[in-house]
């Protein structure tokens, strides 16, 4: 009994009550040496009070777990991410290895004491053989705490030295970088260092992209052609490198000089990245848990001492209670305090005992060994210059165990938080997964893992885990990630090559604008009209409504998604102006592509049905007929169909006056009469309909099933007419732009496939690049091509995806809608019988974006050509004009309208254009035209 000591407790405590591990844990006592003489050793009250702060009850550990869960949610939330202590950093790793990773990759694995350079070969076959050549290079304090540039130069030099040693033939290498520090990753190959930790503190690196720094250092060596294509945290490398027999490894845990964890989170929960489909690896950086004071009530005075004397006081609080770099110091401070209080080593201390770093994690791991621990303690105390009694050695073992078990307990609380979080986010009742573990605390010391497993069972009973010791550090896993990055980079290259065909530069769009302008000029001239692909058809509409129109009119709207019959009552504006009653009818494909007479009979049946429903039977109202197909008009109520477009191909109509065909159908139906006074194109109807509210509306644009535009041209320029003063609306029929080959340079193989498979190959080429009837098909052909190249759906197209028109254009609008896009992508693609990965959905969305953007830009180039024509016609420096627009694609696609308007601004900067979406469709316009026709006819009769 040493003098001044408190009264010792008699005998060995029952069970583990008095064990330093802490009452109530129910864990097998770590250091219950079984040697006979150990029976006489005991914990003094001084020891107990010193170790008490290290005792964490299960209840306390549950609190740690709950606080960790809250801290994790704060890290995941876009709103609180920036201030969160547990940063939850996205890794851009979307899946764990699937065994297809192949190739040979260089890996740089920066550890706490050394740098490891590896050349890893992945066979990528079913056996997935991994061959590793490696070499370690010690990292001195001078490097770890010297200028950042020196650290990266050191790494590049080691890399070259390693390759020199292998005498490999000169070739290009891809490299993965395992960098075990807290980083803000923005891509697999771009990562900004937040803060150094452990024994590293190189100035000039925090806030910088460590891939760029490494790449620059490698390039500076100018010895080997090496591209850094991926950077990972060591936890991720550990998780990705583990080969679990049971459940896939979805958690990575490191307890080494530092500590950290990562896991596969539901991407939708990682709010700081856009993706919300599938999973995304997240690095918790839990080392800094408690940096906001959350753990203050658990910090012992020894923890505070360790923190104050660390390289980063106030930071990495959780790490400093768990990881190997600090446990030795905690033990040393406890021993020094107990010695000073006379509770140990007869109250003596030594310079070594008072020297920072004199007790290492290795010492603790050995001292906590049941068999040799006490003996090991003797050696260590000897090394510290202390003559220790057996009791002293036993006490030291107890101190080491207390510190060690607390570390394991806190780690278990953290792990339990992750597992419960995963189970919650995956909406599972039970979570089964494997946890890849690495670090000195795990390697060669099963107890840490055992303690962890036992405690996780208590703290997260609804989770079953298998701990899998990483075989080979994070090197292999980093190679796996690099292989994935390499595959993605190769895929990206191929995807870029494929999609580059659909990306139009501003010059190319300017060229399209100029080509259209040239075709417009040719189309207007009598001599060249037939050579132009843009027919510039006169419409006999010379004025937009002036508001004096009155009366009831019937209107038909054929050629869009639906066929509409409308009753349009035009009254004084002050009495509400125009009132419309309408009914939608469908035109079945067999009618649209059957005999012409059947089509017009169907139209008449619909009108009759409408009139019956409206109680208008027997009334014959003036009728305006919106007929959205190219017609050569010779008067307002006569139009010779030049060709069918879109999904129509009724026989016996082309070359016929469609008003006549309608009148013949009326005749065929007994007791029925119609007064067709005008036939108009939907672009013209739309312009008139918008012009009723905005007189400066002088352009009509349709981007729906088909596409087209009209505008008010100077009559003197309409060479196909007798000329004269004033203006006339010209129906451009720009859908056919390029049918004479002038746009061939802009057609991609996908456009050619769509054209060849269409009802009218070789025609409506511009329309087939832009309008709703075709965009889905263009996307489908691109998806088939990318699948055939193995870049999508694992190279397996579904039979459905090979079905024409299965990928509807409306999919493009929903796929590009902001917010839930990826989840919708997935749902849409699964409907098509496809098995979709997250990468697949991202790529499908990109294809949709590229196809829709090109369509909108081409449409914008068209509008710019028209606007510039009007401006020049009028000799204006600056033109202001309104474009009346209609069509489902323009109206419903989330970005189409904006892209059109942006393109017009860039290509026609001297025109300020207002795009006015038509509310009532062109049926109203047709009725207004009928009203004008009636007014004119009335005046002529008067």
Q: Which residues are catalytic?
A: 564, 628, 682
> Which is closer to ligand BGC, CB of 113 or CB of 572?
113
Positive or negative: CA dihedral 40, 45, 47, 48: positive
CB 840 within 8 A of CB 793: yes
256 touches ligand 0WK (CB under 6 A):
no
557 touches ligand 0WK (CB under 6 A):
yes
> Which is closer to ligand 0WK, CB of 509 or CB of 537?
537
628 touches ligand 0WK (CB under 6 A):
yes
Note the residue count of the chain.
942
Binding mask 154-183 for ligand 0WK (x = CB under 6 A): ------------------------------
- 692-751: contacts with ligand BGC (CB under 6 A): 702, 704, 706-708, 733, 735
Considering only 134-142, 316-324, 357-365, 886-894, which stretch makes contact with ligand 0WK by CB under 6 A? 886-894
Residue 474 DSSP class: B
Q: Which does residue 626 touch among ligand 0WK, ligand BGC, none (CB within 5 to 8 A, set by kind)? A: ligand 0WK
User: Of 205, 229, 206, 189, whose CA–CA distance to 154 is shortest?
Assistant: 205
CB 554 within 8 A of CB 606: no
CB of 55 to ligand BGC, least distance (A): 26
Q: Which does residue 561 touch among ligand 0WK, ligand BGC, none (CB within 5 to 8 A, set by kind)? A: ligand 0WK
> Which is closer to ligand BGC, CB of 252 or CB of 278?
252
CA distance 840 to 921: 38
CA distance 711 to 539: 10
CB 155 within 8 A of CB 205: no
CA distance 521 to 504: 24
Q: Which does residue 886 touch among ligand 0WK, ligand BGC, none (CB within 5 to 8 A, set by kind)? A: ligand 0WK
User: Of 812, 758, 742, 756, whose CA–CA distance to 780 is shortest?
Assistant: 812
319 touches ligand BGC (CB under 6 A):
yes
Among 545, 559, 630, 738, binds ligand 0WK (CB under 6 A): 559
Among 90, 700, 862, 887, binds ligand 0WK (CB under 6 A): 887
Tokens, residue 877: 């420096």
256 touches ligand BGC (CB under 6 A):
yes
Among 266, 519, 657, 682, binds ligand BGC (CB under 6 A): 682
CA distance 374 to 645: 92
Q: Which does residue 75 touch among ligand 0WK, ligand BGC, none (CB within 5 to 8 A, set by kind)? A: none
Considering only 145-153, 232-240, 663-671, 923-931, which stretch makes contact with ligand BGC by CB under 6 A? 232-240
CA distance 109 to 86: 24
Residue 181 DSSP class: S
Residue 175 DSSP class: E
767 touches ligand BGC (CB under 6 A):
yes
What pairs with residue 259 in β-bridges? Answer: 255
899 touches ligand BGC (CB under 6 A):
no
SS (H, E, C) 659-681: HHHHHHHHHHCCCCCCEEEEEEC
> Which is closer to ligand BGC, CB of 632 or CB of 905?
632
Select the residue whose beta carbon is closest to ligand 0WK and give its number: 704
Tokens, residue 624: 């305006």
Binding mask 676-715 for ligand 0WK (x = CB under 6 A): ------x--x----------------x-xx----------
> Which is closer to ligand 0WK, CB of 180 or CB of 559?
559
CB of 613 to ligand 0WK, least distance (A): 20
626 touches ligand 0WK (CB under 6 A):
yes
Q: Which whole-number Å values give the CA distances from 711 to 119, 228, 400, 529, 887, in the listed order?
A: 67, 56, 88, 17, 17
Q: Which does residue 645 touch among ligand BGC, ligand 0WK, none (CB within 5 to 8 A, set by kind)? A: ligand BGC
Considering only 46-54, 232-240, 612-620, 883-891, which stretch makes contact with ligand 0WK by CB under 6 A? 883-891
Positive or negative: CA dihedral 790, 795, 799, 800: negative
In what order do the strands lie in the sheet containing 563-570?
A: 578-585, 563-570, 551-558, 622-627, 675-680
> Which is closer to ligand 0WK, CB of 180 or CB of 887?
887
491 touches ligand 0WK (CB under 6 A):
no
Binding mask 335-364 for ligand 0WK (x = CB under 6 A): ------------------------------
Positive or negative: CA dihedral 255, 257, 258, 262: negative
Q: Which does residue 477 touch among ligand 0WK, ligand BGC, none (CB within 5 to 8 A, set by kind)? A: none
DSSP-derived 3-state class of residue 922? helix
Sorted by sequence, the CB contacts under 8 Å of residue 539 that are 6+ apart come out as 633, 636, 680, 681, 684, 710, 728, 729, 730, 731
CB 888 within 8 A of CB 646: no
Considering only 233-241, 333-341, 374-382, 805-813, which stretch makes contact with ligand BGC by CB under 6 A? 233-241
Phi, psi of 436 (to 5 degrees): -80, 125
> Which is closer to ligand 0WK, CB of 805 or CB of 830?
805
Considering only 266-274, 423-431, 552-560, 609-617, which stretch makes contact with ligand 0WK by CB under 6 A? 552-560
> Which is closer to ligand BGC, CB of 254 or CB of 850?
254
630 touches ligand 0WK (CB under 6 A):
no
Conformational region of residue 8, where left means phi above 0, alpha means psi within -120 to 50, and beta covers everything else:
beta
Among 260, 284, 533, 717, binds ligand BGC (CB under 6 A): 260
CB of 622 to ligand 0WK, least distance (A): 18
557 touches ligand BGC (CB under 6 A):
no
Considering only 219-227, 252-260, 657-665, 666-674, which stretch makes contact with ligand BGC by CB under 6 A? 252-260
Tokens, residue 126: 């079913």
CA distance 650 to 627: 14
CB of 772 to ligand 0WK, least distance (A): 6
CB of 243 to ligand BGC, least distance (A): 21
324 touches ligand BGC (CB under 6 A):
no
Strands in 471-597 per DSSP E:
537-538, 551-558, 563-570, 578-585
438 touches ligand BGC (CB under 6 A):
no
Phi, psi of 349 (to 5 degrees): -120, 170
The string of DSSP letters for 203-272 reads: TT-TTSBHHHHHHHHHHHHTSSEEEEEEEE-HHHHHHHH---SSS-EEEEEEESSSEEEEEEEEGGG-TT
CA 278: distance to chain centroid?
10
776 touches ligand 0WK (CB under 6 A):
no
Tokens 């500590």: give the residue: 259
Cβ neighbours of 573 (radius 10 Å): 11
> Which is closer to ligand 0WK, CB of 419 or CB of 929?
929
327 touches ligand BGC (CB under 6 A):
no
> Which is closer to ligand BGC, CB of 286 or CB of 345?
286
Among 33, 96, 233, 433, binds ligand BGC (CB under 6 A): 233
Residues that bind ligand 0WK (CB under 6 A): 557, 559-561, 626, 628, 682, 685, 702, 704-705, 772, 886-888, 921-923
Q: Which residues form the interface with ligand BGC (CB under 6 A)?
A: 180-182, 197-198, 233-235, 254, 256, 258-260, 285, 287, 319, 559-560, 628-630, 645-646, 681-683, 702, 704, 706-708, 733, 735, 767
């Amino acid at each position: 009994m040493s003098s001044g000591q408190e009264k010792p407790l008699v005998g060995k405590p029952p069970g583990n009550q008095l064990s330093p591990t802490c009452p109530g844990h129910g864990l097998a006592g770590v250091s219950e040496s079984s040697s006979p003489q150990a029976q006489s050793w005991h914990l003094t009250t001084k020891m107990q009070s010193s170790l008490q702060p290290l005792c964490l009850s299960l209840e306390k550990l549950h609190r740690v777990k709950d606080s960790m869960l809250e801290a994790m949610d704060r890290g995941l939330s876009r709103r609180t991410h920036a201030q969160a202590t547990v940063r939850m950093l996205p890794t851009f790793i979307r899946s764990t290895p699937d065994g297809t990773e192949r190739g040979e990759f260089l890996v740089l694995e920066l550890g706490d004491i050394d740098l490891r350079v590896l050349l890893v070969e992945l066979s990528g076959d079913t056996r997935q053989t991994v061959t590793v050549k490696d070499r370690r290079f010690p990292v001195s304090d001078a490097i770890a705490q010297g200028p950042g540039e020196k650290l990266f130069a050191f790494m590049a030099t080691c890399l070259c030295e390693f390759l020199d040693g292998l005498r490999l033939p000169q070739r290009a290498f891809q490299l993965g970088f395992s960098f075990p520090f807290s980083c803000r990753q923005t891509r697999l190959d771009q990562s900004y260092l937040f803060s150094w930790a452990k024994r590293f503190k190189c100035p000039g690196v925090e806030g910088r992209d460590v891939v760029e720094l490494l790449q620059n250092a490698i390039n500076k060596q100018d010895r080997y052609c090496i591209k850094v294509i991926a950077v990972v945290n060591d936890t991720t490398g550990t998780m990705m490198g583990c080969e679990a027999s049971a459940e896939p490894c979805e958690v990575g845990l490191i307890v080494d000089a530092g500590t950290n964890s990562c896991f596969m989170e539901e991407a939708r929960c990682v709010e700081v990245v856009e993706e919300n489909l599938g999973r995304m690896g997240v690095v918790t950086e839990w080392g800094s848990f408690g940096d906001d004071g959350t753990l203050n009530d658990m910090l012992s005075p020894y923890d505070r001492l360790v923190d104050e004397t660390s390289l980063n006081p106030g930071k990495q609080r959780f790490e400093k209670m768990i990881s190997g770099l600090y446990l030795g110091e905690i033990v040393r401070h406890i021993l020094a305090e107990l010695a000073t209080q006379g509770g140990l080593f007869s109250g003596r201390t030594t310079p070594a005992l008072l020297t920072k770093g004199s007790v290492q994690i290795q010492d603790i791991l050995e001292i906590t060994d049941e068999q040799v621990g006490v003996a090991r303690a003797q050696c260590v105390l000897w090394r510290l210059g202390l003559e220790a009694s057996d009791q002293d050695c036993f006490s030291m073992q107890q101190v080491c165990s207390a510190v060690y078990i607390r570390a394991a307990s806190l780690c278990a609380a953290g792990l339990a938080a992750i597992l419960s979080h995963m189970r919650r986010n995956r909406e599972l009742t039970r979570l089964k997964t494997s946890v890849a573990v690495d670090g000195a605390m795990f390697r060669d010391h099963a107890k840490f893992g055992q303690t962890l497993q036992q405690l996780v069972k208590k703290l997260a009973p609804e989770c079953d885990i298998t701990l899998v010791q990483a075989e080979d550090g994070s090197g292999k896993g980093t190679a796996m990630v690099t292989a994935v990055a390499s595959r993605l980079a190769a895929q990206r290259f191929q995807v870029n090559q494929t999609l580059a065909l659909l990306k139009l530069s501003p010059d190319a769009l300017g060229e399209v604008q100029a080509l259209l302008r040239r075709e417009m000029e040719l189309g207007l001239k009598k001599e060249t009209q037939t050579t132009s692909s843009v027919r510039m058809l006169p419409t006999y509409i010379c004025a937009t409504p002036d508001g004096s129109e009155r009366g009831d009119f019937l209107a038909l709207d054929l050629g869009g998604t639906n066929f509409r019959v409308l009753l349009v009552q035009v009254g004084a504006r002050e009495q509400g102006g125009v009132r419309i009653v309408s009914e939608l009818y469908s035109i079945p494909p067999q009618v649209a592509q059957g005999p012409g007479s059947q089509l017009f009979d169907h139209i008449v049946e619909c009108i009759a049905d409408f009139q019956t429903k409206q109680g208008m039977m027997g009334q014959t109202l003036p009728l305006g007929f919106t007929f959205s197909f190219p017609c050569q008009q010779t008067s307002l109520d006569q139009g010779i169909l030049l060709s069918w477009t879109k999904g129509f191909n009724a026989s016996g109509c082309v070359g016929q006056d469609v008003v006549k065909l309608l009148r013949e159908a009326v005749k065929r139906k007994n007791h029925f009469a119609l007064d067709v006074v005008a036939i108009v194109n939907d672009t013209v109807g739309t312009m008139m309909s918008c012009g009723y509210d905005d007189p400066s509306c002088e352009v009509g644009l349709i981007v729906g099933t088909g596409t087209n535009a009209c505008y008010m041209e100077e009559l003197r320029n309409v060479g196909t007419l007798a000329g004269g003063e004033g203006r006339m609306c010209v129906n451009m029929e720009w859908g056919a732009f390029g049918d004479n080959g002038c746009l061939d340079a802009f057609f991609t193989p996908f456009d050619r496939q769509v054209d060849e498979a269409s009802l009218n190959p070789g025609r409506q080429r511009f329309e087939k690049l832009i309008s709703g009837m075709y965009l889905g098909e263009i996307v489908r052909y691109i998806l088939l091509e990318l699948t055939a190249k193995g870049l999508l759906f694992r190279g397996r197209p579904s039979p459905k995806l090979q079905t024409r028109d299965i990928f509807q254009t409306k999919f493009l609008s929903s796929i590009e809608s902001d917010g839930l896009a990826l989840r919708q992508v997935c749902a849409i693609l699964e409907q098509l019988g496809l098995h979709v990965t997250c990468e697949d959905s991202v790529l499908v969305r990109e294809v949709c974006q590229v196809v829709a953007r090109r369509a909108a830009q081409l449409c914008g180039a068209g509008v710019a050509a028209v606007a510039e024509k009007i401006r020049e016609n009028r000799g204006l420096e600056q033109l202001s004009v309104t474009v009346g627009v209609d069509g489902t694609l323009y109206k419903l696609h989330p970005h189409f309208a904006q892209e059109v308007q942006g393109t017009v601004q860039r290509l026609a900067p001297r025109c300020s254009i207002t795009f006015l979406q038509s509310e009532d469709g062109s049926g109203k316009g047709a009725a207004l035209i009928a009203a004008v026709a009636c007014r004119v006819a009335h005046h002529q009769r008067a």
